[in-house]
């Protein structure tokens, strides 16, 4: 591994975190303390994304072929209540396979898939369940779609879906308040900035979405994260974009060199979620330092943005990845606390009450046995899903054999030290000439805060030289232009990465995640 060329600040490395955690009700003076380590585990083969209900005592997990319901009211003994498989089993190509995401809102649960784009031999769509009695889910409605659904979000009676593999890679919005879901609208980053129309969708896939207070936060990979006003879900309106790269810096073809640019920073907006009060936004950047280039392109950390004025977002800091081999994945909030997952890099909890000076409260990792997909707050604990066991046979590992739900104690208030942070990466340069927008593209766009990535004075090379501001040479691309189906988009699986020529970059024994999402 080459020496990292970006500046890290702060004194605390991930492996040095010793979290002292409180067991029992928050504020209980009699509560005892203990290290931040697993309280309980429950093996659930196929487990991927996990969310909790409003009480924090029930967890729902995506199972690839359905979903599972787990009682986590006693974090020392998580217990499976039930599981449901055969999603859209009555569809022509049903059921849905590769279900990696789901979401809960009140007494409803949304289960959607597949994570890949259309064109494979399985159905695409979603089902909505009544989970007022979590141990007895009752199907309310279902719909087939003309696109895959890599990720989804449920906000009351409205479902927000990634239009995986669809034309223009849109956010797709459905009314699911009744028993017959109806599509309301589609929105694409092309609608906000027509310059993206000429960029292959591989680089600006609609990867994930989170909705809060009538604002949708849409992770659009190299196009950054977009904030949409969805107070009228039939007419989404862009408010601002943040953290992306200029569209002219992205290759217009998918020939030699594109896989490295796809995996490396400074783009790679993977998952975005606002703090409960809406003042901050955490954006996870899933990225690696690709060995095919001389540019220091990863791994990706978590950007913290001030979005108190949604029309003028400001980046405050970037939480550092735990080491050179592990990148950010999904996360969750409770109050000022951020709960994060880092694949083999483990689970880590931050205090962001002072977002300019974040504190690392606790962390736990065992890359030999776990690869964490997400971390979420529960009633008085933390739940996290390890979606593969690196010790399993490689083929079985891809199927989720050995996946396990973990519970951890909530870190106490007295724990913590200054969190490690990093500086932004410079935007890479390409030598290709951008093509002009299509005839139907809009001519105006809302404000966009790109990744300016400051560089030392005098180091920025002339445009078109192919030289990277960080040193070395940026890859140029060749081959024919055109779009790539959702199956080859970022975060869509190890097969896409291997097909792109990146097999040599994947490490064994959990050093890099299998089947990254």
What whole-number distance in Å separates Cα of residue 331 and Cα of residue 321?
13
CA–CA–CA angle 299, 305, 306 (5° rounding): 170
pLDDT at residue number 296: 78
The mean pLDDT value for 202-214 works out to 96
Instruction: With beta carbons less than 8 A apart as the criterion, state whether 349 and 308 touch.
Output: no
Lowest mean pLDDT among 172-186, 197-211, 492-506: 492-506
Q: Is the pLDDT of residue 341 over 50?
A: yes
What whole-number distance in Å separates Cα of residue 450 and Cα of residue 432?
20
The mean pLDDT value for 368-393 works out to 95
Q: Is the pLDDT of residue 144 over 60?
A: yes
Instruction: With beta carbons less than 8 A apart as the criterion, state whether 291 and 505 touch.
Output: yes
pLDDT at residue number 291: 80
**Whole-structure pTM value:** 0.83
pLDDT at residue number 438: 35
DSSP conformation class of 154: E
Q: Which residue has the higher pLDDT, 431 or 256?
A: 256
Lowest mean pLDDT among 4-18, 271-285, 286-300, 445-459: 4-18
Q: Is the pLDDT of residue 101 over 50?
A: yes
Q: Is the pLDDT of residue 399 over 60?
A: yes
What's phi and psi for 78, nearest 5 deg? -60, 135
Q: Where are the beta strands (DSSP E) in 213-311?
A: 215-219, 225-229, 237-244, 269-274, 280-285, 302-306
pLDDT at residue number 483: 26
Q: Is the pLDDT of residue 426 over 70?
A: yes
pLDDT at residue number 305: 98
Instruction: With beta carbons less than 8 A apart as the criterion, state whether 387 and 347 touch.
Output: no
The mean pLDDT value for 13-36 works out to 41
Q: Is the pLDDT of residue 23 over 80?
A: no
Q: Which residues contact 165 (CB under 8 A, 6 or more apart)?
A: 116, 117, 118, 119, 147, 148, 485, 486, 487, 489
pLDDT band at 109 (very low <50, low <70, confident <90, very high): very high
pLDDT at residue number 297: 83
Q: Is the pLDDT of residue 481 over 60?
A: no
Instruction: With beta carbons less than 8 A apart as the criterion, state whether 268 and 250 touch.
Output: no
pLDDT at residue number 501: 27
Instruction: With beta carbons less than 8 A apart as the criterion, state whether 115 and 143 touch.
Output: no
Q: Which residue has the higher pLDDT, 455 or 230?
A: 230
pLDDT band at 450 (very low <50, low <70, confident <90, very high): low
pLDDT band at 255 (very low <50, low <70, confident <90, very high): low
pLDDT band at 413 (very low <50, low <70, confident <90, very high): confident
Q: In this predicted model, what pLDDT tens digit does every residue of 284-293 receive, in sequence order?
A: 999 998 887 7
Q: Which residue has the higher pLDDT, 125 or 496?
A: 125
Of all residues in the chain, the percent with pLDDT exceeding 90 is: 64
Identify the bridge partners of residue 103 per DSSP, sorted by sequence position: 110
Instruction: With beta carbons less than 8 A apart as the criterion, state whether 175 and 167 touch.
Output: no
pLDDT at residue number 286: 96
pLDDT at residue number 250: 87
Q: Is the bond preceding 435 in cis, omega lying within 30 degrees of 0?
A: no
Lowest mean pLDDT among 66-70, 246-250, 472-476, 492-496: 472-476
pLDDT band at 416 (very low <50, low <70, confident <90, very high): confident
pLDDT at residue number 386: 98
Q: Which residue has the higher pLDDT, 313 or 498?
A: 313
Q: Which residue has the higher pLDDT, 150 or 453?
A: 150
Q: Are strands 8-9 and 421-422 parallel, antiparallel or unpaired?
A: antiparallel
Q: Is the pLDDT of residue 143 over 60?
A: yes
């Amino acid at each position: 591994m080459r020496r990292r060329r970006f500046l890290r600040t702060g004194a605390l490395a991930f492996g040095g975190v010793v979290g002292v955690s409180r067991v029992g009700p928050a504020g209980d003076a009699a509560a005892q303390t203990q290290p931040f380590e697993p309280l309980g585990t429950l093996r659930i083969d196929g487990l991927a994304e996990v969310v909790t209900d409003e009480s924090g005592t029930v967890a729902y997990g995506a199972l690839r072929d359905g979903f599972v319901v787990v009682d986590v009211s006693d974090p020392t003994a998580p217990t499976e209540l039930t599981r449901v498989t055969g999603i859209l089993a009555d569809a022509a190509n049903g059921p849905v396979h590769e279900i990696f995401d789901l979401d809960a809102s009140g007494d409803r649960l949304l289960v959607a898939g597949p994570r890949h784009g259309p064109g494979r031999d399985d159905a695409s769509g979603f089902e909505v369940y009544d989970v007022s009695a979590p141990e007895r889910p009752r199907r309310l409605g279902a719909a087939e779609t003309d696109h895959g659904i890599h990720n989804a979000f449920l906000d009351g009676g409205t479902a927000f879906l990634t239009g995986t593999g669809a034309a223009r890679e849109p956010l797709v919005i459905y009314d699911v308040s009744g028993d017959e879901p109806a599509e309301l609208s589609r929105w694409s980053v092309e609608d906000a900035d027509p310059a993206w129309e000429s960029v292959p969708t591989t680089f600006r896939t609609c990867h994930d979405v989170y909705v809060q207070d009538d604002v949708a936060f849409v992770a659009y990979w190299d196009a950054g994260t977009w904030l949409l006003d969805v107070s009228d879900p039939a007419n989404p309106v862009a408010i601002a974009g943040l953290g992306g790269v200029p569209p002219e810096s992205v290759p217009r073809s998918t020939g030699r060199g594109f896989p490295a640019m796809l995996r490396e920073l400074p783009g790679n907006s993977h998952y975005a979620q606002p703090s409960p009060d809406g003042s901050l936004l955490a954006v996870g950047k899933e990225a690696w330092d690709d060995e095919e280039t001389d540019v220091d392109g990863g791994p990706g950390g978590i950007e913290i943005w001030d979005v108190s004025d949604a029309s003028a977002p400001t980046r405050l800091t970037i939480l550092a990845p735990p080491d050179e081999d592990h990148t950010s994945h999904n996360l969750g909030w409770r109050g000022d606390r951020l709960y994060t997952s880092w694949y083999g890099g483990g689970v880590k909890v931050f205090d962001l009450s002072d977002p300019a000076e974040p504190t690392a409260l606790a962390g736990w990792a065992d890359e030999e046995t776990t690869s964490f997909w997400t971390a979420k707050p529960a009633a008085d604990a933390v739940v996290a899903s390890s979606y593969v066991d690196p010790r399993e046979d490689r083929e079985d590992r891809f199927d989720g054999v050995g996946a396990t739900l973990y519970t951890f104690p909530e870190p106490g208030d007295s724990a913590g030290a200054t969190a490690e942070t990093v500086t932004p990466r410079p935007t890479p340069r390409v030598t290709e000439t951008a093509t002009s927008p299509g005839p139907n593209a809009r001519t105006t766009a809302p404000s966009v805060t790109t990744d300016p990535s400051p560089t030392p004075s005098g180091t920025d090379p002339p445009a078109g030289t192919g030289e990277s501001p960080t040193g070395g040479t940026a890859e140029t691309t060749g081959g024919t232009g055109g779009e790539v189906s959702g199956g080859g988009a970022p975060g869509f699986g190890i097969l896409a990465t291997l097909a792109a020529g990146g097999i040599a970059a994947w490490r064994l024994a959990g050093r890099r995640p299998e089947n990254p999402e």
